[in-house]
C-alpha cells in the first residue's frame, strides 16, 4: 500500500529522509539542474569526451560505487514495516516498557532471509530462514534476530565460520549456489553430532516454506527477563503465524526456483499491497531462574528446545506487517540487526553461541555498511533521540553543537548525563560468575540425539517421508561414499528405519559410527555418552508437526483459474467471489493474454498465459466450465499444457475444482484415474462445490494422499 494509513512513529521519522521525483527537474547531486542527460561533453560531435564533463563523471562515479558487500550470511532478504501490539502485560517478568503496557503498539521492521545463498539466489532453497525483528521502542531499538527453526547447528560460536564455510559454495569452483547438497556441508555435519537435531529440522519441509507469513519465528537462545524487583526468568521467544505453518513439496520448490525465484518476496509484497497483512502471535516460554537446572537438557544449549509440553508458550502479543518499504536498498539492505541491541528488562544468557554473536553483528556492519555511523542510516535510527560523545567517522550525519565531546565535563554542564536505573538507565543483570578459565564444552551439552529423535518422532507420516526423501536427495549429491556412510551412522541414533532407508538409497551400509568427535571432552566416547541418555520427559511434541497447525482460513492463498473464451461466467464468478470474500486471491490463466469474452458477453483480461506461469505458483486450481471454453482448452496446442497444470497440482496434493462441462479434462488427466475418494478434488457433481473447495484449500494439502496421487 503505497500511501496506506499504516503510519507510526518510525515511518513518520523515515518521511524526513524520503523523496519523490514527481514533477521535479533532473539535477546533479549538488542540486544543479541538468539540461542534457543524453550526451556527454565532447570535442566535436564525433570527438573524444572531455575530462571536464563533471556531470558524466559524477554519474558514472556514483554508479561505479553503487554496490556494497552482501551479508556474509543471510544475504538474500525481504523486509516490511509493521507494528507489534502487546495484548497481555509481562510486567510481572520484565520491565521492558514495550512488554508491560497492555495495548501498547511498537513500530517494527522485519527482514526475512535465506542463509546460504547470495543476494540474487532463489527464495525456495532448502535452508533456514532468518526472521529478524527490529522493535523501535521508546527505550531504544530492541532487535530479536530470530530464525524459523528453534535450534542451531552448533553449540559454540567458534564453530560458526567452519559451518558457514562448509555450507557456502565450495571455494575452488563456487558450486553449488544456495544449496547444502554438496560434499563440504555433509562432511562437516557428519563430523558434528551436535548438528543432528538441527539437521532434522533442515531436512523437514520447514526448510521450504510456502510463504514468510506461514513460518514460525524463534529466538533460539534462552534470554533473560528482569522485572522491576530484579527477579530473573529465562525466556524463549516464539512467533506463531496466524495462517498456520505450511510448506511446499521439494519437487515444487525446485520448479518454483525456475518459474519464480522471488516467490516469497513477491508473496510478501503483494499481500501487503492488497491489505492482507501477515500476522503472528508473539509468545514466550518463561522459566524462573531457580528452575534453570530442572531439565534433562541445558537451557544454555542452543541445539535444544524447551518442549511446549514442559513449558507452555504464553501468547502475549501480535506482530503485523502492514507497509512495504519504499526503497529496497535504503531499508531492507541497509537495516542492521544485532542481538546486542537491548532494552532494560531483557538480557543475555551465557549460551556460548549467543555470546559469540554479540561480537559478530557490529563487526560485520563495519565492513558491510562501511562506517561506525551505520546507526544513523534512517532505517537503523532509534525513535528515541541519541545523545553521547561519540563523534566523527565516515558519513557522519548528526551535527552536535558545542565544545564538549567528553565526560565528565563541566563546560557542557556535565551533559549528556548518565541515566539512573529508575530513569531507564540500562544495567546488566547481576550474575555471580566464577570458574577456571577453560576452553571446554560443558558435559551438560552432550546429549545430541534425544531431541533429534523427539522431532522425528513427532512428525506425521507424510512429514517423515518428506524428511527421509530430503536426506536421500541431499546425500545423493555427496560424491565421497565415506561421508555418506558417516552420516548414516549418525541417523542410526535417531531412527534405525530412517538410517536403513536412506542408506539403501544412497548406496552405503549402515555401520556404527567411529570417528573423532571434536565437540566432546577429549576423554569422552560418544557412544558411551549416548548410552547414558536419559528417558526423555516428552516423547512426542505436537507443536513440532506442521500438520497440527492448520487453521480454517484461505486468507492469502492464491488460486489459479484456468479459463478460455466462452467460459461460464456465472459459475466461475460465484467461486471467485466466495474465495475473495475470504481473503484469497484469484488469478486468471488462459491460452493467451488476449482479452476473452465470457458466455454472458463480458470481457476478462487474463493475468497469465498457460506458458507464462505454472501450477507451482498457486495453492489450488479451478477449471472453468462452458462449452466453448472447454473446447478451446482441448485443442492440441492447449490440451497438453492444461493437463500438465492439472497433473502437477494433483501430484503436489492441491485442491482442484472441475466445474460443469470439464469432464473431458478431468478424464484425460491423472485425476480421472484415481481409485478412492479424495476430499480435495471437487467436481461438477458436488453440491456446495465452492464451500468444499474453500474447505480443502484451508487444509493446505492432502499430504496423506500423496502416495496415491503419485502412483
- Residues at the binding site for heme are 71, 111, 160, 357, 361, 368
Considering the complex, state which of residue 73 and residue 491 has its C-beta at the smaller distance from ligand HDE: 73
Buried b (16+ CB within 10 A) or exposed e, 167-178: bbbeeeeeebeb
Three-class HEC string of 38-62: CCCCECCCCCCECCCCHHHHHHHHH
> Judged by CB under 6 A, which of 82, 107, 117, 130 binds ligand HDE?
130
String of contacts with ligand HDE for each residue 199-238, x by CB under 6 A: ---------------------x------------------
> Judged by CB under 6 A, which of 73, 99, 681, 705 binds ligand HDE?
73
Q: How far is the CB of 145 from ligand HDE (least distance, A)?
A: 5
C-alpha cell at position 433: 560468575
**Count of Cβ atoms closer than 10 Å to residue 43 Cβ:** 9
Residue 146 in contact with ligand HDE, rule: CB under 6 A:
yes
Q: How far is the CB of 374 from ligand HDE (least distance, A)?
A: 10
Number of H-type helices and E-type strands within the chain: 19, 18
Phi, psi (deg, nearest 5) at residue 114? -95, 170
Strands of 338-437, DSSP E: 346-347
Considering the complex, state which of residue 126 and residue 357 has its C-beta at the smaller distance from ligand HDE: 357
Catalytic residue numbers read 74, 147
String of contacts with ligand HDE for each residue 273-312, x by CB under 6 A: -----------------------------x----------
C-alpha cell at position 561: 483459474
Q: How far is the CB of 234 from ligand HDE (least distance, A)?
A: 16
Residue nearest to ligand HDE (CB): 130
Q: Which helix (H) or strand (E) holds 84?
A: strand 77-86
**Count of Cβ atoms closer than 10 Å to residue 542 Cβ:** 13
Residue 562 in contact with ligand HDE, rule: CB under 6 A:
no
Considering the complex, state which of residue 349 and residue 585 has its C-beta at the smaller distance from ligand HDE: 349
Q: How distant is the alpha carbon of residue 654 from its chain centre? A: 23
Residue 74 in contact with ligand HDE, rule: CB under 6 A:
yes
Considering the complex, state which of residue 339 and residue 591 has its C-beta at the smaller distance from ligand HDE: 339
Q: How far is the CB of 132 from ligand HDE (least distance, A)?
A: 4
Q: How distant is the alpha carbon of residue 234 from its chain centre? A: 25
Q: How far is the CB of 73 from ligand HDE (least distance, A)?
A: 5
- Dist CA 337 CA 319 (whole Å): 18
End-to-end CA distance of the chain: 45
Binding site feature residues: 71, 111, 160, 357, 361, 368
String of contacts with ligand HDE for each residue 372-411, x by CB under 6 A: ----------------------------------------
Considering the complex, state which of residue 74 and residue 466 has its C-beta at the smaller distance from ligand HDE: 74
> Judged by CB under 6 A, which of 6, 77, 142, 475 binds ligand HDE?
77
Residue 328 in contact with ligand HDE, rule: CB under 6 A:
no
Q: How far is the CB of 356 from ligand HDE (least distance, A)?
A: 4
Helix (H, G, I), strand (E, B) or coil at 21: coil
> Judged by CB under 6 A, which of 11, 94, 100, 113 binds ligand HDE?
113
Three-class HEC string of 262-321: CHHHHHHHHHHHHCCCCEEEEEEEEEEHHHCCCCCCCCCCCCCCCCCCCCCCEEEEEEEE
C-alpha cell at position 100: 508491560
> Judged by CB under 6 A, which of 71, 182, 448, 709 binds ligand HDE?
71
Considering the complex, state which of residue 127 and residue 568 has its C-beta at the smaller distance from ligand HDE: 127
> Judged by CB under 6 A, which of 121, 147, 322, 349 binds ligand HDE?
147
Q: How far is the CB of 363 from ligand HDE (least distance, A)?
A: 7
Q: What's the CA dihedral at 53, 56, 59, 64 to 10 degrees?
A: -100
Residue 152 in contact with ligand HDE, rule: CB under 6 A:
yes
With both helix axes pointing from N to C terminus, report the angle between 689-698 and 569-581 in degrees, rounded to the nearest 10. Answer: 40
Phi, psi (deg, nearest 5) at residue 664? -60, -35
Closest CA to 284 of 356, 215, 218: 218
String of contacts with ligand HDE for each residue 336-365, x by CB under 6 A: xx---------------x--xx--xx--xx
For residue 377, the 8-state DSSP code is S
* Contacts to ligand HDE by CB under 6 A: 71-74, 77, 111, 113, 130, 132, 145-147, 152, 157, 160, 220, 302, 336-337, 353, 356-357, 360-361, 364-365
Amino acid at each position: 500500500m503505497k500511501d496506506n494509513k499504516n503510519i507510526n512513529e518510525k515511518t513518520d521519522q523515515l518521511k524526513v529522509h524520503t523523496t519523490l521525483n514527481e514533477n521535479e527537474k533532473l539535477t546533479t547531486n549538488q542540486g544543479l539542474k541538468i539540461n542534457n542527460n543524453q550526451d556527454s561533453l565532447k570535442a566535436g560531435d564525433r570527438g573524444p569526451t572531455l575530462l571536464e564533463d563533471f556531470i558524466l563523471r559524477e554519474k558514472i562515479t556514483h554508479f561505479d560505487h553503487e554496490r556494497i558487500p552482501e551479508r556474509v550470511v543471510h544475504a538474500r532478504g525481504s523486509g516490511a514495516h509493521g507494528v507489534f501490539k502487546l495484548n497481555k502485560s509481562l510486567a510481572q517478568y520484565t520491565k521492558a516498557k514495550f512488554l508491560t503496557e497492555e495495548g501498547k503498539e511498537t513500530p517494527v521492521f522485519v527482514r526475512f532471509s535465506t542463509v546460504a545463498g547470495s543476494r540474487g539466489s532463489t527464495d525456495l532453497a532448502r535452508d533456514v530462514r532468518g526472521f529478524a525483528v527490529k522493535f523501535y521502542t521508546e527505550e531504544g531499538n530492541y532487535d530479536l534476530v530470530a530464525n524459523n527453526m528453534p535450534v542451531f547447528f552448533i553449540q559454540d560460536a567458534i564453530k560458526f565460520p567452519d559451518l558457514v564455510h562448509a555450507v557456502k559454495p565450495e571455494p575452488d569452483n563456487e558450486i553449488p549456489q544456495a544449496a547444502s547438497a554438496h560434499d563440504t556441508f555433509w562432511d562437516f555435519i557428519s563430523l558434528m553430532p551436535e548438528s543432528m537435531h538441527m539437521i532434522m529440522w533442515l531436512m523437514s519441509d520447514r526448510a521450504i516454506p510456502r510463504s514468510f507469513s506461514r513460518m514460525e519465528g524463534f529466538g533460539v537462545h534462552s534470554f533473560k527477563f528482569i522485572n522491576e524487583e530484579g527477579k530473573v526468568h529465562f525466556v524463549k521467544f516464539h512467533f506463531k503465524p496466524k495462517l498456520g505453518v505450511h510448506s511446499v513439496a521439494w519437487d515444487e520448490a525446485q520448479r518454483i526456483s525456475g518459474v519464480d525465484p522471488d516467490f516469497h518476496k513477491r508473496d510478501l509484497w503483494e499481500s501487503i499491497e492488497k491489505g492482507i497483512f501477515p500476522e503472528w502471535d508473539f509468545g514466550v516460554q518463561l522459566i524462573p531462574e531457580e528452575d534453570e537446572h530442572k531439565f534433562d537438557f541445558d537451557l544454555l544449549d542452543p541445539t535444544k528446545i524447551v518442549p511446549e509440553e514442559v513449558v507452555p508458550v504464553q501468547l502475549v502479543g501480535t506482530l503485523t506487517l502492514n507497509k512495504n518499504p519504499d526503497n529496497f536498498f535504503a531499508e531492507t539492505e541497509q537495516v542492521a540487526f544485532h542481538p546486542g541491541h537491548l532494552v532494560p528488562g531483557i538480557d543475555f544468557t551465557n549460551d556460548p553461541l549467543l555470546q559469540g554473536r554479540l561480537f559478530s553483528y557490529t563487526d560485520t556492519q563495519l565492513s558491510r555498511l562501511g562506517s561506525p555511523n551505520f546507526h544513523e542510516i534512517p532505517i537503523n535510527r532509534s525513535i528515541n533521540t541519541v545523545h553521547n560523545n561519540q563523534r566523527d567517522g565516515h558519513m557522519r550525519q548528526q551535527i552536535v553543537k558545542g565544545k564538549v565531546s567528553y565526560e565528565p565535563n563541566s563546560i557542557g554542564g556535565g551533559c549528556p548525563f548518565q541515566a539512573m536505573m529508575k530513569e531507564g538507565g540500562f544495567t546488566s543483570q547481576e550474575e555471580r560468575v566464577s570458574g577456571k578459565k577453560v576452553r571446554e564444552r560443558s558435559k551438560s551439552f552432550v546429549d545430541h540425539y534425544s531431541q533429534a529423535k523427539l522431532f522425528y518422532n513427532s512428525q506425521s507420516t507424510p512429514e517423515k517421508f518428506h524428511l527421509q526423501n530430503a536426506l536421500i536427495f541431499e546425500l545423493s549429491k555427496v560424491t565421497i561414499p565415506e561421508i555418506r556412510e558417516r552420516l548414516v551412522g549418525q541417523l542410526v541414533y535417531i531412527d534405525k528405519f530412517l538410517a536403513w532407508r536412506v542408506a539403501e538409497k544412497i548406496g552405503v551400509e549402515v555401520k556404527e559410527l567411529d570417528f573423532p568427535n571434536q565437540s566432546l571432552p577429549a576423554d569422552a566416547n560418544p557412544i558411551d555418552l549416548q548410552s547414558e541418555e536419559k528417558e526423555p520427559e516428552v516423547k512426542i511434541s505436537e507443536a513440532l508437526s506442521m500438520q497440527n497447525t492448520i487453521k480454517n482460513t484461505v486468507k492469502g492463498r492464491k488460486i489459479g483459474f484456468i479459463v478460455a473464451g466462452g467460459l461460464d461466467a456465472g459459475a466461475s464468478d460465484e467461486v471467485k467471489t466466495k474465495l475473495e470474500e475470504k481473503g484469497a486471491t484469484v488469478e486468471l490463466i488462459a491460452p493467451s493474454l488476449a482479452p476473452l469474452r465470457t458466455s454472458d458477453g463480458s470481457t476478462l483480461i487474463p493475468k497469465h498465459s498457460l506458458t507464462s506461469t505454472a501450477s507451482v505458483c498457486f495453492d489450488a486450481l479451478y477449471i472453468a466450465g462452458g462449452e466453448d471454453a472447454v473446447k478451446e482448452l482441448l485443442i492440441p496446442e492447449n490440451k497438453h499444457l492444461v493437463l500438465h497444470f492439472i497433473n502437477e497440482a494433483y501430484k503436489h496434493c492441491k485442491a482442484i475444482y472441475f466445474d460443469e462441462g470439464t469432464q473431458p479434462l478431468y478424464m484425460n488427466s491423472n485425476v480421472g484415474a484415481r481409485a478412492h475418494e479424495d476430499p480435495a478434488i471437487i467436481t461438477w457433481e458436488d453440491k456446495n462445490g465452492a464451500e468444499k473447495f474453500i474447505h480443502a484449500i484451508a487444509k493446505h494439502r492432502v499430504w496423506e494422499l500423496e502416495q496415491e496421487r503419485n502412483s
